[in-house]
Structure 1
Amino acid sequence: MSETTVVTVGADMFAEAVEGQAVGVERVDWRPPMPGTEADLAKVATDARRPEANRLAVEAMLGVTAHLVDVAPASEVLGLEKGQFLHAGPPITWDRASGPLRGALMGGAALEGLVDDPEDAVALFESGSSVSLEPCHHRSAVGPMAGVVTPSMWMWVLEDRATGRRTYCSLNEGLGKVLRYGAYNDEVLTRLRWMGDVLGPLLQAAVRGTEEATDVTGILTQMLQMGDEAHNRNRAGTLMLLRDLSPAMVGSIDRGGFAAKDVAAALRFVGGNDHFFLNLAMPACKLALDAGRDVPGSTMVVAMARNGTDFGIQVSGTGDEWFTGPAQVAEGLFLGDYGPDDANPDIGDSAITETAGIGGFAMATAPAIVRLVGGTVPDALATTRRMHEITLAENPRWSVPVLEFQGTPTGIDVSKVVRTGILPQINTGMAGAVAGVGQVGAGLVTPPAEIFPKALAALAARVPA
């Protein structure tokens, strides 16, 4: 006589009651879909294009290799003109802008000489007559936290040599009181001017003077084996970048006429800023995800971004349309005396890393990250495993040693998120809610649940009759 096994779904109390009677139990982790989505789920499931569309989108994404090919001012590579500002996240206007975004815009206006005092920029943005705001994503760029980019800021330039497609990101300022966290005091502006006058030109000379262009995708592959997850931990990546660029930086003393003291200052700045590589990881992820855009029928998310007020996603099968909801406040660890009441809701384009399958999706590669964002090492492992339930593929380049070198979960599927109710996990820094404060902590956050049913409804409306 065969042994009886009971399959249980839902509340664990039933499984425990059966086990208490010495009967074998097989638990099935099933959840009902998000409320009100049944019809759209059924409609998208019947789309004959979907399997092939998702295969093509994933294949295109995984086929990209990002190389560092230049460093140049945003005015040159993005065509930004005086008074034009880029920001993180979906589109927003000054009247709805959060404290850190306002602070970064105010500092950016002073940096560009539009005002003498950042405080005077409030009237400038309220009038809107000589300034404009636009998402970084709309110019093939990404910006961490507030993500503000002005014409004089220097940008990393990454290229997929197979297609010639390029993406861009500003240089990383470090942590604490920095522009991207909404700080704009004299120390912040002095550092930004040094980055524009010294660091940017020196990095340009180094990148142009390096025989082999730095393979950023390759560095990402290595750093995931070395304890980084490429969002809030970039220590190994930063050191590998320094390894690649420092010979040419030193060589620029003779070749490019740079002063030895400036080269030394630049090397100290990069070496002392563990987050420096983040601003290369982000455009590398965007370069890959942009290759998977605009595939009719694909349910793959190609961007997740936050402006401090709204959290938005874009999906391959729905073009450039944003699906937005209110940004959430992260849960985590705070600096000094700061607490949850001091934190602004989630902000930044850096969730592009999670969209590509690293960052919070690869927390199992970086168990030490829990010391920054909170949680436990088992939590980090469980998070990576859970993200496989809402993704289309694994990335064979980016593997997790502790999980038997399984590829990171890659290609968020809108329909899987809606069907399971599992939301993408993001680890992030936290900016102060008040303009000028800067960083107040770091933690974990998820998107607002309602944006995924919105995207699903738009996909369902596009299913051919």
Structure 2
Amino acid sequence: MWSEHLDVVNVGLAGFGDNIRDAGGSVTTLDWRPPALGDPGTALALARIAGHPEIERANQVAFERYLSAQPVLTDVMPAGEAIPAMAGERLILHSGPPIAWDRMAGPVKGAIAGAIVFEGWAPTPEKAAELAASGEISFSPAHHHGAVGPMAGVISPSMPVWVVRDATSGRLAYSNFNEGLGKVLRFGANGPEVLERLRWMSTELAQALRPAVQRLDGLELKPLIGQALHMGDEVHNRNAAATGLLLKRLLPALIATGPDNAVLSRAAEFITGNDHFFLNVSMAACKAMLDAAAGVPHSSMVTAMARNGVNFGIRVSGTGDRWFQAPANPVDGLFFPGYGVADAAPDLGDSAITETAGLGGFAMAASPAIVKFVGGTPADATAHSRRMREITLGVNPVFTLPALDFGASAAGIDVRSVVDTGIQPVINTGIAHKEAGVGQIGAGVTTAPLPCFTQAVDALADGLGLAAGAAA
């Protein structure tokens, strides 16, 4: 009879170790799964491009361009003036990959209906929905126009946008203004109070902020973001410090550019009362940094992650403007009283551009307080930041995390590493009600679906003539 103590490492299903435990042995179960979701073709493609010299060289170029980008806040403009494709057109931008009106999620339809009423193209949200379904309104992903927007991501021509310029490449990026939390357009709400706020933002607030921003003569955003990380933000779902730092720069400029006291008071009150005000600025900054890395042939670096409430999509530097899509994952989080999982829309918004750039969920170690908003524990937040280092090309030395001994945040998601390890990029996010017009009902944590990355691996292998079925 076997008398020695059994100490077994179990790779695979946890149940494989039950008999060992029943016999008095010890079992250490490894959380392992076959790469590429067990697909042999994609696994072969992954093996062929792992360490491929052309991909490695391309990744060095793409990652260096991302690191070298210097996003600078330069202006505030109406979207119809800033974004060429919107000039004189009935075009509405939305978050995530392309999607037709009849397939859009409830909150996106609600936000679009609200934007149509805001523009004066229809008198009510109900008539706006009819107009949207008629084909007389054009829809396009914000990412296709150098823009990003949180949640529904809806940008219409009259809405003001932040203009961010990459001082290194000259590229421009845009994002709309943040309305605050609760019943807001980006979560699909479109009632009178939402539209009234949008009208004030597009007139009085934008008119006050534009000369103030111009007076700053280019506000560098990377140092501001880096400072905010040291003050408890992760610059996605917690922007309290970053908003305060922005206001610190804006207030003297606002005073100097001369809005009357009542306008100045309303603008300052709105910004100080909205801890998410900087979110949209950070998104435009991240968009500028990642667009700098786009378009490097054969690079496996992810340059965008975005969700439209139905599908999650990624774009990869080496595959051009192509989207790789899979159904959006649900969000695991905390719900406002009276709401639960059954009420929630699937994952939604362009704000995962922050994670793509090494912020948000990738920088949660900097923001232990974020767990009070999205769920989990401070230890979970730190674990997320550590784990993301396993799937990235490197780190961003400007974005350092005090809880990790000021180690830099992981950045430059490599689709090969995601498929090889099965580690999915983590994202913290808000939760919208699945029905139009309700608004935000919570916040939480989700992940990017693996099929997006397996598709990208297949495409990269195909681009090198190394796809499954091709001669090795």
Given the two structures, how large is their TM-score scaled by the length of structure 2? 0.92
| In the alignment, structure 1 residue 102 sits paired with structure 2 residue 103 | no
Partner residue of 2:122?
115
1: distance between equivalents of 2:99 and 2:201?
A: 27
8 Å contact from structure 1 (residues 417, 423) kept in 2:
yes
CA deviation map 1:71-101 (0-9, x unaligned)? 0100111031341100000001100000000
Partner residue of 2:167?
161
Partner residue of 1:223?
228
8 Å contact from structure 2 (residues 169, 292) kept in 1:
no
- In structure 2, the CA distance between the partners of 1:237 and 1:109, relative to structure 1 (3 Å rule), is same
Partner residue of 1:275?
276
2: distance between equivalents of 1:133 and 1:85?
A: 5
CA deviation map 1:192-239 (0-9, x unaligned)? 0000110111110101122x4211111111001110000000000000
Query: Which among 124, 135, 144 is matched to residue 128 of structure 1?
Result: 135
Partner residue of 1:137?
143
- Aligned-pair Cα RMSD in Å: 2.2
2: distance between equivalents of 1:241 and 1:28?
A: 46
Deviation at 1:162, TM superposition (A): 2.1
Partner amino acid, structure 2, of 1:227? G
| In the alignment, structure 1 residue 41 sits paired with structure 2 residue 43 | no
CA deviation map 1:266-306 (0-9, x unaligned)? 00000110000000110111111111111112111100000
1: distance between equivalents of 2:465 and 2:297?
A: 10
CA deviation map 1:136-158 (0-9, x unaligned)? 00000001100000100001001
Partner residue of 1:202?
208
8 Å contact from structure 1 (residues 104, 183) kept in 2:
yes
- In structure 2, the CA distance between the partners of 1:436 and 1:27, relative to structure 1 (3 Å rule), is closer
Partner SS state of residue 458, structure 2: helix
1: distance between equivalents of 2:90 and 2:383?
A: 46
Partner residue of 2:153?
147
Partner residue of 1:51?
56
Alignment of 1:67-106 (within 5 A): 67-79=72-84, 80=86, 81-106=88-113
Partner residue of 1:240?
245
Partner residue of 1:65?
70
Partner residue of 1:32?
34
Partner residue of 1:395?
396
Partner residue of 2:361?
360
Deviation at 1:40, TM superposition (A): 1.1
Partner SS state of residue 441, structure 2: strand
Partner SS state of residue 450, structure 2: coil
8 Å contact from structure 1 (residues 9, 30) kept in 2:
no
8 Å contact from structure 1 (residues 47, 297) kept in 2:
no
Deviation at 1:259, TM superposition (A): 2.4
- In structure 2, the CA distance between the partners of 1:386 and 1:196, relative to structure 1 (3 Å rule), is same
1: distance between equivalents of 2:29 and 2:408?
A: 26
| In the alignment, structure 1 residue 452 sits paired with structure 2 residue 459 | no
Given the two structures, how large is their TM-score scaled by the length of structure 1? 0.93
2: distance between equivalents of 1:357 and 1:128?
A: 38
Deviation at 1:455, TM superposition (A): 0.9
8 Å contact from structure 1 (residues 146, 182) kept in 2:
yes
8 Å contact from structure 1 (residues 47, 464) kept in 2:
no
Partner amino acid, structure 2, of 1:273? N
Partner residue of 1:214?
219
Deviation at 1:50, TM superposition (A): 1.2
Partner residue of 1:293?
294
Tell me the percent identity. 50
Partner residue of 1:3?
none
- In structure 2, the CA distance between the partners of 1:396 and 1:96, relative to structure 1 (3 Å rule), is same
1: distance between equivalents of 2:46 and 2:345?
A: 34
2: distance between equivalents of 1:89 and 1:457?
A: 22
8 Å contact from structure 1 (residues 82, 112) kept in 2:
no
Partner SS state of residue 49, structure 1: helix
| In the alignment, structure 1 residue 183 sits paired with structure 2 residue 184 | no
Partner residue of 2:411?
410
1: distance between equivalents of 2:374 and 2:30?
A: 31
1: distance between equivalents of 2:324 and 2:47?
A: 20
Partner amino acid, structure 1, of 2:438? V
Structure 1 unaligned spans of 5+: 1-5
2: distance between equivalents of 1:54 and 1:27?
A: 34
Partner amino acid, structure 1, of 2:38? P
Deviation at 1:48, TM superposition (A): 2.4
